[in-house]
Copies of this chain bind each other. A is one copy, B any other.
Amino acid sequence: MKKIMNDPSQIVTEMVQGLVRSYPDQLKQIPGTEAVMKIADLKHRPQVGIVSGGGSGHEPTHAGFVGDGMLTAAVCGQVFTSPTPDQIYEAIKAADAGRGVFLVIKNYSGDVMNFEMAKDMAAMDDIDVRSIVVDDDIAVENSTYTQGRRGVAGTIFVHKILGAYARQGAGIEAIEELAHQITPNIKTIGVALSGATVPEVGKPGFELAPDEIEYGVGIHGEPGYRREKLQDSKHLATELVGKLKEAHHMTAGEHFAVMVNGLGATPLMEQYVFMNDVLDLLAAENVEVDFTKVGNYMTSLDMAGVSLTIMKLIEPGWVAKLDEPVTTIGW
C-alpha cells in the first residue's frame, strides 16, 4: 500500500482538519465531531437544513458539497464506515435554524440505522427531522452492506436540487415531497478497473487481472454483476447506457441529466472520452440531455473506473436547480 498518510487510524481526523483549515471561510468543524458545516449566519436567513454523510473515502463526498445552495452539514464517518448516531445528532442540531432538518441517507444498513437513531434523538428536542434514503445504483439488488439497492453518485443530484430549493426558502414538507419525487428518477451504474485499498487494511478489497474489469462494483468494493476482459470505451458505454436505458424505460424526446463520475484513480481525460461515447449513444436514442457533469464526485479511495448517473428530468424546474451556482468545493 502506497498512501500519503500518517497513522491510518487517524486518517479521517487529519483529513477533516486539513479540509477545514484549507477552506476556513467556507467550512467549520462541528465541535466534538468529525462533521463539517458551512459557515453562514443561519439565524439571519433561516432555511431548512440539509444534512448528509456516511463513511469517508468518497471525497469530495460529502463534506465537499457543504456550502451555500447545497448541504448545510456533512458527517464524516471512519473510512467506509457509517458515522455514529451521536455525531449525526450533533450535525442535525447545528444545522437546525428552526425550520427543520432534512437528511439525505445513502442506502447502506449502517447509515440507515444510525441516521434513523439520530433522527429519533433530535425528535426528542422537538426538531422536525425528515429523510430520504437514496438507492440509485441499479447494478444489483441487495449487497454486502445493503438491503435493496446501494446509494451512490446520484445522491449528489439529490443534494444539489434539495439544496437549491432550501436556499430559496422551501419548507420541510415541500423538501420532503420533492425528495420523494426526484430520487426514483435517478439511476446509476459503474464499472471498476481496480479495487480500492482501505488504509487500515493495507491491500485492495478485491483484485482484478491486468486485463479484467468488473461491472456494477459498489463504492466500497461490493461485488458487481459481471467480470470480463477490458474493452474499449464505446463498449463500456454501450453496456452501462444499455442498463440505464432499460431501467428508465427511456423513450425518445424525454429529458435527462447525465453525470460521469471518476472513482478516484481514473484521469479526467478518460472520463471525457467516456462521456463522449455516452452522449453519442443518448443522441442515437433521440433523448434530450439538458445537463452534463464530468469529474470525481463520489469516489472510492484509489479505485479506478467510472460510474454513470442518468436522471430523468420529469419537471422542467429541476435542471435550473442543477445549473444554479453554489459555493461548495466539490460541485
| B-facing residues in A1-38 (Cβ within 8 Å) | 2-6, 11, 14-19, 21-24
Residues in B whose Cβ lies below 8 Å from that of A59: 267-269, 272
Number of residues of chain A lying within 8 A (CB) of chain B: 61
Assess the B233–A276 pair: CB atoms within 8 A.
no
Q: Assess whether A18 is in contact with B232, with CB atoms less than 8 Å apart.
A: no
Q: State A151–B17 Cα separation when bound (angstroms).
A: 30
Contact, CB under 8 Å: B269 / A2:
no
Q: Are A14 and B60 in contact (CB under 8 A)?
A: no
Contact B301 A22 (CB under 8 A): no
A294 within 8 A of B: yes
Q: State in angstroms the CA–CA spacing of A325 and B11 once bound together.
A: 31
Q: Which residues of B contact A65 (CB under 8 A)?
A: none
A302 at the interface (CB under 8 A from B): yes
How many copies of this chain does the complex contain?
2
Is residue A57 within 8 Å, beta carbon to beta carbon, of the partner chain? yes
Pick from B2, B19, B266, B277: contact of A193, CB below 8 A.
B2
A227 interfacial by beta-carbon distance below 8 Å? no
Q: Is the CB of B18 within 8 A of A274?
A: yes
From the candidates B19, B210, B276, B299, name the one contacting A14 in the complex (CB within 8 A).
B276
Tell yes or no: A320 within 8 A of B by CB. Answer: no
Q: Does B273 lie within 8 Å of A11, measured CB to CB?
A: yes
B2, A276: Cβ atoms closer than 8 Å: no
Taken together as a complex, chains A and B put the C-alpha atoms of A272 and B15 apart, in Å, by: 5
Q: Is the pair B234, A6 in contact by a Cβ cutoff of 8 Å?
A: yes
